[in-house]
Amino acid sequence: MIYDPRPNQSVELLKELHILTRDGRMNQDSRRKQKQIALLFQFIEPVLEEVRQQQGEIHLVDHGAGKSYLGFILYDLYFKKYPGCGQVYGIESRPELVVKSSDLARRLGFPGMSFCNLTVAESIGSPSIPERVDIVTALHACDTATDDAIRFALDKRVPHIFLVPCCQAEVAAALNRNKQSMLASPLAELWRHPLHTREFGSHVTNVLRCLQLEAHGYQVRVTELVGWEHSMKNELIIARQQNRPGQKAAERLRSLLETLGLLELEERFFTP
């Protein structure tokens, strides 16, 4: 399949990210990856434009950046059109990926991209990250990395958050540890079988994340990013700070943790 890039889209970048082969073709895996990022861009682009119009400069932080597929595509499709309009910061704990992404940004002439070899905890107070951050993204940040991105966003009071969670196991592990003590409740049937523990744990994790964000005044929207035929990890959480009253959401969050026998995770979801 030959891929027809958007006007002014960098074919060299698509090849470097292995979305395109050297002869300009796409395999099945590339098509899935391209579709996910293209759809995510459709959600993020209006917010980029809104921030640029209001602030004049956009500060976007991408957590668990990995090879920085998302950051590079966002920069290529939007930031490149408006030179000097802002900066994309890729936060990644693996130094070899930071070096590789930094080198690629230099070769492509993307001066508004920076890559930081930091943990989330380090990035919160790092002088490499501006005090004002407008948008936080986390695409397929595994397990608790999505929660780390939320913690960063709450600490920085970031107004816009886009999350596509992946491979979350911590809540499922807690459900499993406390399974025997919960068997008296018929609700425990929701996760009595190991497969259900994994799937229910994944679902509950994202429900708790949404309540956590609502407790901090965010308006939260949850939608499907792509069809199940493309990816099983297709849930997109979009949060926008509206300074809404969060007491009811906080009460529901604590009640849900208690009902499911997950109070050991209270500190994780009740970020100050």
Domain boundaries, the chain: 38-269
250: exposed, middle or buried (Cβ count in 10 Å: 0-12, 13-18, 19+): middle
Would you give the end-to-end CA distance of the chain in angstroms?
A: 50
CA distance linking residue 158 with residue 240, whole number of Å: 9
Beta pairing class for 160-166 and 218-224: unpaired
Predicted local distance difference test score (pLDDT) of residue 181 = 86
Give alpha helix (H) positions in 19-169: 28-55, 69-77, 95-108, 120-125, 145-156
DSSP type of residue 127:
T
C-alpha dist (Å) from residue 158 to 27, 97, 184, 214, 267: 37, 25, 42, 14, 21
**Stretch 172-184: mean pLDDT, rounded?**
88
Beta-carbon contacts of 225 under 8 Å, excluding residues fewer than 6 positions away, are: 36, 39, 40, 164, 231, 234, 235, 236
For residue 204, give both structure tokens.
């509950």
What DSSP string runs through 170-199?
A: HHHHHHHHTHHHHTTSGGGGGGSSHHHHHH
Report pLDDT digits (tens) over 219-235: 999 998 865 544 456 79
Report pLDDT digits (tens) over 239-271: 999 999 999 999 999 999 999 999 999 988 986
C-alpha dist (Å) from residue 106 to 87, 100, 110, 150, 191: 14, 10, 6, 29, 49
**What is the CATH T-level fold of the domain 38-269, as seen in this structure?**
Rossmann fold (3.40.50)
DSSP type of residue 244:
-
Report pLDDT digits (tens) over 181-220: 888 889 999 999 999 999 999 999 999 999 999 999 999 9
pTM: 0.91
Specify whether the CB–CB gap between 124 and 156 falls below 8 A.
yes
CA distance linking residue 7 with residue 3, whole number of Å: 12
